[in-house]
């Protein structure tokens, strides 16, 4: 068996360490530094892409249903609005805050916020209707301090500033996706039903008839690459390709 | 990702981009009734004149899927819902109807019996589709199966093991919605689709292939069935019930030697097919094609001894598949006798006269 002995650091070093420990103890008794955030009087600073309460902008929605299709928790139901379009509603009783819906939303009609503390009285209330998603929900704010954690190479630094955080992400950072546009890969198989033209929200697809021939065209400058026409084409002859 | 993968991805993207175009043309089909919707044209030329064969080529191609199919082809609110694209009149084999008849370009006439499967006769239809799947020519075959009430249901067979469902093979004397399902199959297939159908369905497939390259590319094997007539489900099921057929015990329906035979687990009901003339669909009454002349290969029961299927071979692809079946020893083969078909071919040819009426 091998005996492990403590390394002798020498008297000077030992005294130094003890003095430092006493110093920290004295500082803590005067100005204690806790890692716990004193919510709700203090709030932790969240990153801009925090997955919180979801906001919706009907003007940007192109009615593609992509959010409802992708939601793994089946939390999104599309409901008909007075203008005959279908808009999402979210059941927060089911939502797992994965934000797939936001990621899938082609025109940023769905947006995240840093709000994570909405309270409901019962399950029914958690079904959030479209109109309740347009404006941020009412929350009680008692916070006066903003807590920020920073981890440097040695230690966890906690800074607390007298500041109230903005919980809305006003500017959605521009997407860094590869720009794509819709193109036809088999024009001869087109039946000329115009469904692509009807569904295109940006008017990029046009058609005209002359001398018994219908001419279809996609304006690649106007096409946003949302893929709605690709999904709706009954003959599956449209594809998204790199711009 | 590995460099090789990235390269492969780039290749695919490049290929897709090269084939893509932002401008294309479509020929607009002629309208006999100029100021009417295309569906009204189809209705007045084919449906109202009662020459519609219920092949459902129109329903398969209609972009909204709004042509509904019960016993008859219909489109209740066409005034508001028809997109007026004209796809239906482009593909309807009977819009400009030139009845086909005879044997087609038959290169060989043989009898066969599958050792692996059980079917109506020699199960050669099932054998052809499954062998084509094994050879990698197709990745799915469309079968008209049935439920316990003998209503037809379409199945995509992607693995021979699925044929453990014994109701997939065997003849159902009611229309099946083959072509709307073919449209779906074309969407999902990677290699190609094999399809089985009566002569009207085969004509529909050919028309789709003639008009739209996507069907030319994806439908690799077309197996035709010999056919004198088919029936609407409501009519034939009522008729058989009146004759005392219990559908829960029914295992096989067959027409041989001029007799309709319904075999049940404990008994048999037999009567002359002629008696069925009163429920003969009007579309079949003007159909002159007995052997599905446009199919790659046609299969039927007349022309060979009982227990064998008669195979009329036309296209090279069918020869290739039959060679493979022989090589693997999947089936026994014998001689077919085209002479025996003479009567039925002639009988159907005479129906051209009904067309004039
Ligand atoms: C409506 C109808 C009428 C027929 N009339 C005659 C006739 O008068 N004379 C004659 O010699 N042969 C006729 N046949 C063909 C014959 O009954 C057999 O289908 C043929 O011999 C093939 O037998 P098999 O054992 O090789 O096929 P199987 O291996 O049993 O396979 C039969 C195939 O037919 C398909 N099928 C069955 N019913 C239908 C349907 N209603 N619509 C589309 N596909 C279907 C099944 O999906 C299956 O793929 C008719 C077939 C049908 C469907
Ligand atoms: S966050 Fe996730 S679970 Fe919630 S609605 Fe969006 S997709 Fe569905
Ligand atoms: S939408 Fe097109 S295919 Fe459908 S009925 Fe109208 S014209 Fe025919
Ligand atoms: S014959 Fe076929 S394509 Fe023509 S109307 Fe009848 S079902 Fe439709």
B30 lies in some domain: no
B318 lies in some domain: yes
**Atom from ligand 4 closest to the CA of residue B53:** 1
State the pLDDT at residue A168. Answer: 86
State whether A53 and A120 are in the same domain: yes
State the pLDDT at residue B1. Answer: 47
B152 lies in some domain: yes
B297 lies in some domain: yes
Expressed as residue numbers, the domain containing A81 is: 48-137
State the pLDDT at residue B69. Answer: 78
CA A182 – CA A197 distance, rounded (Å): 12
The residues in B 135-164 lying below 8 A from A, measured between CB atoms, are none
State the pLDDT at residue B221. Answer: 97
Last residue of some domain: A83, A108, A137? A137
State whether B178 and B307 are in the same domain: yes
CATH code of the domain covering residue B63: 3.30.70
Q: Which one of B171, B280, B336 would you pick to mutate in the ligand 1 pocket, going by the greatest count of ligand atoms within 8 A of its CB?
A: B171
Q: Of B17, B64, B213, which has the smallest distance from its Cβ to A242's Cβ?
A: B17
**Contact between B181 and B156 (Cβ < 8 Å):** yes
CATH code of the domain covering residue A190: 3.30.70.20
**Atom from ligand 4 closest to the CA of residue B56:** 7
State whether A133 and A186 are in the same domain: no
**Contact between B287 and B100 (Cβ < 8 Å):** no
State whether A122 and A186 are in the same domain: no
Last residue of some domain: A102, A121, A137? A137
pTM to 2 decimals? 0.75
B147 lies in some domain: yes
State how many domains chain B has. Answer: 2
Instruction: Give CA B209 to chain center in angstroms.
Output: 14
State whether A122 and A189 are in the same domain: no
B177 lies in some domain: yes
Q: Which of A184, A234, A236, A240 to mutate to test the interface with B (most CBs of B within 10 A)?
A: A234
State the pLDDT at residue A34. Answer: 74
State the pLDDT at residue A159. Answer: 85
Residue B47 CB less than 6 A away from ligand 3:
no
List pLDDT tens digits, range A45-61.
988 889 999 999 999 99
State whether B77 and B134 are in the same domain: no
Q: Which of A174-183, A194-203, B157-166 has the lowest mean pLDDT?
A: A174-183
State yes or no: pLDDT of A152 exceeds 80: no
The residues in B 75-134 lying below 8 A from A, measured between CB atoms, are 83, 85-87, 90
List pLDDT tens digits, range B286-304.
999 999 999 999 999 999 9
A43 lies in some domain: no
CA A95 – CA A93 distance, rounded (Å): 6
Looking at CA atoms only, how far is residue B47 from chain A in angstroms? 21
Last residue of some domain: A137, A165, A191? A137
State whether A184 and A133 are in the same domain: no
List beta partners, residue A160.
A147
List pLDDT tens digits, range B16-63.
555 678 899 988 888 888 888 999 999 999 999 999 999 999 999 998
A185 lies in some domain: yes
A184 CB neighbours in chain B (<8 A) are: 20-22, 24
Cβ distance B24 to A190 less than 8 Å, yes or no, reads yes
CATH code of the domain covering residue A88: 3.30.70.3270
State whether A54 and A128 are in the same domain: yes
The answer to whether B17 faces chain A, any CB pair under 8 Å, is yes
What average pLDDT is seen over chain A? 89
State whether B74 and B112 are in the same domain: no
State whether B47 and B141 are in the same domain: no
List pLDDT tens digits, range B60-81.
999 877 887 777 888 888 888 8
State whether B189 and B299 are in the same domain: yes
State whether B60 and B116 are in the same domain: no
State whether B84 and B112 are in the same domain: no
State whether A52 and A133 are in the same domain: yes
Say which DSSP state A55 is in: E
The answer to whether B27 faces chain A, any CB pair under 8 Å, is yes
The answer to whether B2 faces chain A, any CB pair under 8 Å, is no
Q: Which of B14, B24, B215 to mutate to test the interface with A (most CBs of A within 10 A)?
A: B24
State the pLDDT at residue B15. Answer: 55
List pLDDT tens digits, range A62-98.
888 999 999 999 999 999 999 989 999 999 999 999 9
Looking at CA atoms only, how far is residue A226 from chain B in angstroms? 16
State whether B57 and B146 are in the same domain: no
B21 lies in some domain: no
B82 lies in some domain: yes
State whether B43 and B83 are in the same domain: yes
Please give chain B's pLDDT, 357 residues, in tens: 456 666 666 665 555 555 678 899 988 888 888 888 999 999 999 999 999 999 999 999 998 778 877 778 888 888 888 888 899 999 999 999 999 998 888 889 999 999 999 999 999 999 999 999 999 999 999 999 999 999 999 999 999 999 988 899 999 999 999 999 999 999 899 999 999 999 999 999 999 999 999 999 999 999 999 999 999 999 999 999 999 899 989 999 999 888 999 999 999 999 999 999 999 999 999 999 999 999 999 999 999 999 999 999 999 999 999 999 999 999 999 998 988 988 899 999 998 888 877
State how many domains chain A has. Answer: 2
B24 CB neighbours in chain A (<8 A) are: 184, 187-188, 190, 215-217
State whether A64 and A120 are in the same domain: yes
Q: Which one of B120, B230, B298 would you pick to mutate in the ligand 1 pocket, going by the greatest count of ligand atoms within 8 A of its CB?
A: B120
State whether B55 and B167 are in the same domain: no
Last residue of some domain: B64, B91, B118? B91
A218 lies in some domain: yes
Cβ distance B25 to A216 less than 8 Å, yes or no, reads yes
Expressed as residue numbers, the domain containing B128 is: 108-232+281-356
A221 lies in some domain: yes
State the pLDDT at residue B254. Answer: 93
């Amino acid at each position: 068996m091998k005996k492990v002995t403590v390394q002798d650091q020498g008297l000077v070093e030992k005294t130094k360490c003890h003095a430092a420990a006493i110093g920290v103890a004295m500082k803590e008794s005067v100005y204690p530094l806790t890692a716990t955030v004193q919510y709700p009087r203090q709030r932790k600073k969240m990153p801009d892409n925090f997955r919180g309460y979801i906001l919706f902008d009907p003007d940007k929605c192109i009615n593609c249903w992509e959010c409802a299709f992708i939601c793994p928790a089946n939390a999104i139901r599309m409901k008909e609005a007075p203008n005959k379009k279908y808009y999402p509603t979210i059941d927060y009783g089911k939502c797992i805050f994965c934000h797939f819906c936001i990621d899938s939303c082609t025109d940023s009609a769905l947006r995240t916020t840093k709000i994570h503390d909405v309270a409901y009285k019962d399950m029914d209330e958690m079904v959030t209707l479209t109109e309740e998603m347009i404006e941020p929900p009412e929350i009680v704010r008692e916070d006066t301090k903003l807590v920020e954690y920073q981890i440097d190479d040695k230690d966890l630094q906690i800074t607390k500033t007298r500041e109230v955080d903005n919980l809305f992400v006003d500017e959605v950072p521009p997407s860094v996706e590869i720009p794509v546009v819709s193109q036809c890969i088999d024009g001869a198989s087109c039946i000329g039903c115009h469904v692509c033209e009807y569904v295109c929200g940006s008017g990029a697809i046009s058609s005209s008839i002359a001398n018994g021939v219908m001419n279809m065209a996609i304006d690649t400058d106007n096409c946003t690459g949302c893929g709605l026409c690709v999904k709706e084409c009954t003959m599956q002859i449209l594809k998204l390709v790199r711009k | 990702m590995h460099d090789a993968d990235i390269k492969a991805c780039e290749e695919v993207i490049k290929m897709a981009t090269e084939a893509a175009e932002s401008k294309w043309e479509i020929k607009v089909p002629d309208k006999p009734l100029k100021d009417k919707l295309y569906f009204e044209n189809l209705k007045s030329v084919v449906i109202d004149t009662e020459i519609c064969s219920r092949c459902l080529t129109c329903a398969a191609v209609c972009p909204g899927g709004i042509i509904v199919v019960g016993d008859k082809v219909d489109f209740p609110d066409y005034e508001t819902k028809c997109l007026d694209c004209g796809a239906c009149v482009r593909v309807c084999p009977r819009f400009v109807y030139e009845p086909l008849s005879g044997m087609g370009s038959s290169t060989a006439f043989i009898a066969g019996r599958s050792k692996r499967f059980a079917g109506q006769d020699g199960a050669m239809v099932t054998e052809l589709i499954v062998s084509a799947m094994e050879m990698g020519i197709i990745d799915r075959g469309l079968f008209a199966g049935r439920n316990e009430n003998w209503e037809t249901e379409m199945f995509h067979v992607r693995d021979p093991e699925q044929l453990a469902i014994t109701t997939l093979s065997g003849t159902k004397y009611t229309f099946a919605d083959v072509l709307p399902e073919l449209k779906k199959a074309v969407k999902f297939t990677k290699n190609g689709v094999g399809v089985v159908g009566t002569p009207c369905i085969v004509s529909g497939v050919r028309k789709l292939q003639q008009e739209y390259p996507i069907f030319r590319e994806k439908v690799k094997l077309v197996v035709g069935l010999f056919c004198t007539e088919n029936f609407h489900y409501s009519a034939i099921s009522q008729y058989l019930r009146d004759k005392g057929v219990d559908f829960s015990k029914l295992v096989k329906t067959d027409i041989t030697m001029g007799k309709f035979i319904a075999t049940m687990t404990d008994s048999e009901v037999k009567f002359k097919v002629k008696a069925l003339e009163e429920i003969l669909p009007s579309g079949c009454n003007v159909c002159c094609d007995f052997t599905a002349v446009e199919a790659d290969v046609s299969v039927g029961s007349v022309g060979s001894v009982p227990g064998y299927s008669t195979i009329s071979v036309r296209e090279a692809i069918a020869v290739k598949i039959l060679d493979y079946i022989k090589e693997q020893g999947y089936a026994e083969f014998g001689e077919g006798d085209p002479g025996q078909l003479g009567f039925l071919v002639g009988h159907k040819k005479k129906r051209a006269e009904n067309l004039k009426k």
